[in-house]
Amino acid sequence: MNPYGHFDDDHREYVITRPDTPLPWLNYLGCEEFFGIISNTAGGYSFYRDAKLRRLTRYRYNNVPLDSNGRYLYIRDGNDIWSPTWKPIRATLDRYECRHGLGYTQIIGQRNGIAVTTRHFVPLGRTCEVWDVRVRNTSPHPKRVQLWGFIEWCLWDAMDDASNFQRNYSTGQVEVEPQAIYHVTEYRERRNHYAYFSSSVPTAGFDTSRNAFVGVHEGLDAPRAVVAGNCTNSIAYGWQPIGVHQIDLDLSPGEEKRLHFLIGYAENPDDKKFSPGMVRKGQLVANKAPAQKVRAELANSSAIDAAFAELKDYWADLLSNYKAEVPDPHVSRMVNIWNQYQCMTTLNLSRSASGFESGIGRGMGYRDSNQDLLGVVHLQPQRSRQRIIDLASTQLSDGTCFHQYQPLTKKGNADIGGGFNDDPLWLPLSVYAYIAETGDNTILAERCPYADKPDAASTLMDHLELSMNYTLRNRGPHNLPLIGHADWNDCLNLNCFSTTPGESFQCAGDIAGSVAESVMIAGLFCAACDRMAAIYRLLGQEAKAADVLARKAEMQKAIETNGWDGQWFLRAYDAHGHKVGSKESEEGRIFIESQGWCVLGGVGSKDGKARIALDSVKKHLATPNGIVLQQPAYSTYHVELGEVTSYPPGYKENAGIFTHNNTWIQCAEALLGDGAQAMEYFLSICPSKKEEQIETYRCEPYVYSQMTAGPDAPTPGEAKNSWLTGTAAWSFVAISQYILGITPSPAGLVVNPCIPPSWKGFAISRKFRGKTYNIDVRNPRGVCKGVNRMTVDGQTIDGNTIPLNLGGNIVSVQVVLE
Ligand code: BGC
Ligand code: NOJ
Nearest residue (CA) to ligand 2, atom 7: 488
For residue 280, pLDDT over 80 is answered with no
Query: Is the pTM above the cut of 0.95?
Result: yes
Give distance in angstroms: CA of 508 to centre of ligand 1.
13
362 Cα nearest atom in ligand 1: 12
Give distance in angstroms: CA of 192 to centre of ligand 1.
35
361 Cα nearest atom in ligand 1: 12
Q: Probe ligand 2: pick from 421, 488, 520, max atoms within 8 Å of CB?
A: 488
Nearest residue (CA) to ligand 1, atom 3: 490
DSSP 8-state secondary structure symbol assigned to residue 690: G
For residue 738, pLDDT over 70 is answered with yes
Ligand 2 is surrounded, with C-beta below 6 A, by 351, 365, 367-368, 488-491, 653
d(CA 98, CA 85): 8
Nearest residue (CA) to ligand 1, atom 4: 490
490 Cα nearest atom in ligand 1: 10
Q: How confident is the model at residue 511 (pLDDT cuts 50, 70, 90)?
A: confident
- pLDDT of res. 746: 97
Q: Probe ligand 1: pick from 491, 722, 724, max atoms within 8 Å of CB?
A: 491
Give distance in angstroms: CA of 425 to centre of ligand 2.
15
Give distance in angstroms: CA of 581 to centre of ligand 1.
20
647 Cα nearest atom in ligand 1: 8
For residue 791, pLDDT over 90 is answered with yes
Give distance in angstroms: CA of 101 to centre of ligand 1.
29
- Please name the helix (run of DSSP H) or strand (run of DSSP E) that holds residue 547, with its range, or none: helix 542-562
Nearest residue (CA) to ligand 1, atom 2: 490
Give distance in angstroms: CA of 338 to centre of ligand 1.
25
Ligand nearest to the CA of 505: 1
658 Cα nearest atom in ligand 1: 9
Ligand nearest to the CA of 361: 1
- pLDDT of res. 723: 98
- pLDDT of res. 400: 96
Ligand nearest to the CA of 520: 2
Calculate the average pLDDT of the chain.
97
Ligand nearest to the CA of 365: 2
- Listed in sequence order, the residues at least 6 apart from 431 whose beta carbon sits closer than 8 Å to its beta carbon are 388, 443, 444, 460, 464, 531, 535
Nearest residue (CA) to ligand 2, atom 9: 490
- Please name the helix (run of DSSP H) or strand (run of DSSP E) that holds residue 181, with its range, or none: strand 180-183
Nearest residue (CA) to ligand 1, atom 11: 490
490 assigned to active site: yes
d(CA 726, CA 350): 9
DSSP string for 437-501: HH--GGGGGSB--BTTBTT---BHHHHHHHHHHHHHHSB-TTSSBB-BT-SSSTT--TTT---ST
Closest CA relative to residue 575, chosen from 472, 476, 507: 476
Strand 657-658: give its sheet, edge to edge: 657-658, 705-708, 719-722
Task: With H, G, I as helix, E, B as strand and everything else as coil, classify residue 394.
Answer: coil
Question: Which one is catalytic: 77, 132, 423, 490?
Answer: 490
For residue 283, pLDDT over 70 is answered with no
- pLDDT of res. 282: 60
Nearest residue (CA) to ligand 2, atom 5: 368
506 Cα nearest atom in ligand 1: 5
d(CA 73, CA 246): 10
For residue 510, pLDDT over 90 is answered with no
- pLDDT of res. 513: 86
- Assess contact for 361 and 724: CB atoms under 8 A: no
658 Cα nearest atom in ligand 2: 10
- pLDDT of res. 628: 98
Ligand 1 is surrounded, with C-beta below 6 A, by 416, 490-491, 506, 643, 652-653
Q: Probe ligand 2: pick from 490, 597, 707, max atoms within 8 Å of CB?
A: 490
Q: Probe ligand 2: pick from 370, 391, 660, max atoms within 8 Å of CB?
A: 660
Give distance in angstroms: CA of 190 to centre of ligand 1.
34
CA torsion, ordered 156, 158, 161, 167, to nearest 10 deg: -70
Tell me what percent of the residues of the chain surpass a pLDDT of 90.
97
Question: Per-residue pLDDT averaged across 526-537, rounded?
Answer: 98
Q: What is the biggest distance separating any 2 CA atoms in the chain, rounded to whole angstroms?
A: 84
For residue 712, pLDDT over 90 is answered with yes
Q: Strands (DSSP E) along 79-173, which ranges?
A: 80-82, 95-101, 104-111, 114-121, 128-137, 143-156
For residue 684, pLDDT over 80 is answered with yes
Give distance in angstroms: CA of 505 to centre of ligand 1.
9
486 Cα nearest atom in ligand 2: 11
For residue 479, pLDDT over 80 is answered with yes
d(CA 494, CA 506): 11
Question: Per-residue pLDDT averaged across 609-625, rounded?
Answer: 98
Ligand nearest to the CA of 654: 1
d(CA 779, CA 785): 9
Ligand nearest to the CA of 724: 2
For residue 279, pLDDT over 70 is answered with no
Strand-pair partners of 175: 182
367 Cα nearest atom in ligand 2: 5
Give distance in angstroms: CA of 717 to centre of ligand 1.
20
For residue 281, pLDDT over 70 is answered with no
- pLDDT of res. 343: 98
Main-chain dihedrals φ then ψ at residue 93, nearest 5 degrees? -100, 145
Q: Probe ligand 1: pick from 360, 369, 415, 653, max atoms within 8 Å of CB?
A: 653
Nearest residue (CA) to ligand 1, atom 10: 490
Q: How confident is the model at residue 792 (pLDDT cuts 50, 70, 90)?
A: very high
Q: How confident is the model at residue 1 (pLDDT cuts 50, 70, 90)?
A: confident
d(CA 108, CA 96): 5
Nearest residue (CA) to ligand 2, atom 10: 489
Whether the link from the prior residue into 88 is cis, omega within 30° of 0, is yes
**Angle at Cα 802 formed by Cα 797 and Cα 805, nearest 5°?**
95
d(CA 140, CA 718): 46
Query: For the packed helices 460-473 and 519-538, what is the interaxial angle rounded to 10 degrees?
Result: 150
Residue 717 one-letter amino acid: G
Ligand nearest to the CA of 728: 2
Give distance in angstroms: CA of 490 to centre of ligand 2.
6
Give distance in angstroms: CA of 655 to centre of ligand 1.
14
Give distance in angstroms: CA of 490 to centre of ligand 1.
6
Question: Per-residue pLDDT averaged across 466-478, rounded?
Answer: 98
